[in-house]
A and B are shown apart, each in its own frame.
Chain A
Amino acid sequence: MASRLVTAAMRSVVLFLISVILVLGFWYHAEFYQIGLTNLAIVGGLVTFLVIAAARLAISGELPKGRPVGELTFTLDEGDRILRSIATLVVRPAEGASLPGVGQVVRAKYETGPEFGRLQIVDARRSYLSDLSEQDAREAGFRSALELRDAAAGRWTWRPTDVVTVLRIRRLGAGR
């Protein structure tokens, strides 16, 4: 809760600073151009609109980097393995949930709700469940492919012919 307040406060400060700069800019140009209130309102309104639109575009597009765009939930055991950097692979059913793409940052949460970190997706591929190798299972923090399938059986109805998405992750740090 406190972190959200800090984030909201920081965003508000940035927005306020942009607004101050815009007002100063209008005053400066109004002084030099002597363009009158009506023209200033139209031109100023247009510029303000463009600046806000550009800021929205930047936030929704490329900038800032590392902004989380979704979340992945884990059991306590899985979360623990990720925190200890034992697991670098996450296997999820391809059907149903919307999964993040490569390069995106997601919030890593326990099933019970709390966020325990941020993860960056560095690779993603599709595989049949039956094609997951022992190496994949070890990288996902399990001793064998069988154990991986068994562990997830409680959460999803696994069949060997099911398609899964295999995400390679990089931990970015503790949750805020």
Chain B
Amino acid sequence: MTPATITTAVGILVGAWLVALVVLRGRRRWLRATYAACGLAFLVMGVGFVGIEEGFLDPAREDIVLGTMLLAYALTAILVVGLIHGETLPRGRAAGFLLLAPIPFLAYLAPSEGWTMQTAYEGNLLGGYLVLCLGLALAETVYARLTSRLYAAQSFWLSLGVVALIVGGPIYTYELQALALPITAGANFATPLALAAFALVTLQADPVPASTRLARSRWSGPSALRGGEPIVFEETRPKYAVRAATMEAARGRPTMVIARTSPPLTTSGLVTGTILPNRHAALRLLTTASEFLADHPGGLVVLTGFADVVAMSGRLRTFEAAIRLKHVCKDTRSTAVFSTSRLSDSERRSLKDLRLTWWSLPDPAREIEAILSQSFGSGAPHLLEAFCRAHGLRHEDVSTDHVPAVIAFLQRTVAELTGAVEGGAGHGLKVQVEAASSVLRAFADQDASEASRGRWPSRRPAEADRELLVTAAEYWKGKEMEELFAAADAVGDREPLYEKARAVFVEELGDAGEGVLRTQIARLGKKPEDLEKGDIVRIADRASVDLATLADVVDLPKEKDRLQRQVDEIRLRLERIVREDA
């Protein structure tokens, strides 16, 4: 064997390993297939060279090697374009595949024109085609390097791979020709290096794993979020973004939530993706979203972890990913939702400069308080505070999902109070609660689109409230509202501990939460109505241990992480209930 054939044979082995790696580890179907096709073409080319050189392949079969050479370089260009514009393949960049069209024509002409492996890079139609393929790939990487922050690192590695192929192919052949040495036609010694560079970029930009896999389908139907554009949800916490995802998934729309941590509860039909700490987080965010939308045109992607990606990859890269995602949305008639939660003011302003559809949304906690204020005046903050205490919630965690619980709390509180007051006052209070409940329900029923119109309870003119307050005060026949709602506060505190604990378990673990709590209570040998503060502490400890053990058993890191966070949250909220109760 000659040094050239040994080098090529080693390159074949390395190339085969790289192809296997990408096929097994890659998550983008089209790129995986393109990489495999490109890699295999180079491998066949190498095997052909070794076979002819070592004499176990008929030299007459050189035409096959020439054909795979054409295929390999054309696929290199397509692969490079795909790695840079992967989010629009194959839909937007299908024209790239036209590069393969001349191959049958050139292969047909090769025998009659006398094109061989040795003369492949000469100034003829065949050589021109090969140079065009490599030139296209190089131009694309250089352009990406100059214009894109998002692909800066990737374009470096792609440039390295393409330049290596140029040096190992045409330049090396010209060199041998100039030195009058035998031409090692059909082999490109830089193949392993180029395939390694392409594999690195393929894996760096791989989408994050999804929680579940939905069947590929196109979706169309009524939706609160119109398709074909990204929408920015300007909100302090991603409450409306998550709610929109849940509601759209319930309508049957393919929906994916991409967050920094997996959500505690997953709605049926909702796909979740967790962003891992990585310098290429912005790129992976883009590829994850675009891959999902390519598989589910008309779908929805909600990015609640947008600010975390900015922290990981930087503002410019993340915003470029947002702009690229805008084009994906347009191509696929899909929707992407970006939540501005935890972005700094300057980042928020920069995002606004991108001129994406912008929806300013209210903070549900503040609006619920405003609604309560309209009915109950200055006692409302105390009322909401009492509700939060009873449910182990922080004020800022209250969302529209808590509205039914707030209404139930109000009704229980007022039922207690009306026993202590007489006639018209009790009736009046019930009317007020009904009025507040009705407004609360109407507010909770609003989707993000309606809420973004700005008719928020907190923005209502004060005059209307004043009128209501006078009426309420009249019902109470001169008693001070403050005193009455201080009493309501105390009623809230008297809510059975079981109910408070149950609310925590159900909110964190779903319907199964109540069963978990009852098991813990049974293990204490108590009945739900007999629970005391000390029992809550013990339940918190035991539940932490039991659920943490369960989390340890789970072998999926993402699920393990999710369970652990649920355990921590349950413990935190139970401790808060005990602390507030003390």
* Interface residues, chain A, with chain B CB atoms under 8 Å away: 32-33, 57-58, 61-62, 94-95, 99, 101-104, 122-128, 130, 161, 163, 165, 168
Q: Which residues of chain B are within 8 angstroms of A57 by Cβ–Cβ distance?
A: 145, 156, 159
Listed by A's residue number, 25 A-B pairs whose Cβ atoms lie within 8 Å are A57-B156, A61-B153, A61-B156, A62-B156, A62-B157, A94-B344, A95-B344, A99-B311, A101-B279, A101-B311, A101-B312, A101-B314, A102-B278, A102-B313, A103-B279, A123-B312, A124-B311, A125-B311, A125-B312, A126-B308, A126-B343, A130-B396, A163-B342, A163-B343, A165-B311
Q: Which residues of chain B are within 8 angstroms of A123 by Cβ–Cβ distance?
A: 277, 312
Q: Which residues of chain B are within 8 angstroms of A104 by Cβ–Cβ distance?
A: 279
Check A102–B277 contact: CB distance below 8 A. Answer: yes
Cβ < 8 Å to A, chain B residues 333-350: 342-347
Query: Smallest CB-CB separation from B260: which chain A residue?
Result: A125
Within the assembled complex, what's the spacing in Å between the Cα atoms of A32 and B308?
Answer: 58
A-B complex: 10 closest residue pairs judged by Cβ atoms: A103-B279, A123-B277, A126-B342, A124-B311, A126-B307, A61-B156, A95-B344, A94-B344, A102-B312, A102-B279
With A95-B344, A125-B308, A126-B308 in contact, do A32 and B156 touch (Cβ < 8 Å)? no
Check B260–A62 contact: CB distance below 8 A. Answer: no
Q: Which residues of chain A are within 8 angstroms of B307 by Cβ–Cβ distance?
A: 94, 126, 163
Q: Which residues of chain B are within 8 angstroms of A99 by Cβ–Cβ distance?
A: 311
Cβ < 8 Å to A, chain B residues 279-333: 279, 281, 307-308, 310-314
Interface of B, secondary structure class, is: helix
Query: Smallest CB-CB separation from A100: which chain B residue?
Result: B314
Which of B145, B277, B346, B347 has its CB near the most chain A CB atoms (within 10 A)?
Answer: B277
Query: In the complex, what's the smallest C-beta–C-beta distance from B306 to chain A, in angstroms?
Result: 9
Cβ < 8 Å to A, chain B residues 371-421: 396
With A32-B178, A163-B307 in contact, do A127 and B156 touch (Cβ < 8 Å)? no
Within the assembled complex, what's the spacing in Å between the Cα atoms of A130 and B310?
Answer: 20
Query: Smallest CB-CB separation from A58: which chain B residue?
Result: B156
Check A124–B153 contact: CB distance below 8 A. Answer: no
Q: Which residues of chain A are within 8 angstroms of B179 by Cβ–Cβ distance?
A: 32
Given contacts A62-B153, A126-B343, 6 further A-B contacts (CB under 8 A): A61-B153, A101-B279, A102-B278, A163-B307, A163-B342, A165-B311
Query: In the complex, what's the smallest C-beta–C-beta distance from A104 to chain B, in angstroms?
Result: 7
Within the assembled complex, what's the spacing in Å between the Cα atoms of A95 and B347?
Answer: 8
Query: In the complex, what's the smallest C-beta–C-beta distance from B382 to chain A, in angstroms?
Result: 20
Q: Which residues of chain A are within 8 angstroms of B157 by Cβ–Cβ distance?
A: 62
Check A102–B281 contact: CB distance below 8 A. Answer: yes
Check B313–A101 contact: CB distance below 8 A. Answer: yes
